[in-house]
Structure 1
Amino acid sequence: MPTLLIWIERRLRPARDEDGDVPGWVMITVMSAGIVAALTAIAGPELSRILSQALASVGG
């Protein structure tokens, strides 16, 4: 009988490695994308202006 109880308990309780936690590399990827998006929103126009000036000076 104890074997049946252990089997039921294992079926009802999720395994530790399948508990729905987001892996660390996924969080790092999402956070990196957020930082890039924030920097682009803040510094995008200035970076575009600098690039345009640099290309204009090289092109003559």
Structure 2
Amino acid sequence: MGNTALLLVTRLHLALVAPRQRDERGDVPGWVLVTVMSAGIVMAIWGVARQELTEMLRSALNSVQ
């Protein structure tokens, strides 16, 4: 009877706790997608407003000197 109880507890643990531990790893493809999309947005903004951003940076650096 001891082995049956141990088997039952082990199966219950695997059914209830083990999937939660796997779910806590995070969604790696989701994070990769967010990173790629963020880089794409930055490149799009840089392509449209490169001149203005460059002037703002030069102005800020010149005001520090």
TM-score of the superposition, structure 1-length normalised?
A: 0.45
Q: Which has the higher contact order (CA 8 A, sep 6+)?
A: 2
> Where is the helix percentage greater, Structure 1 or Structure 2?
2
* TM-score, normalising length: structure 2: 0.44
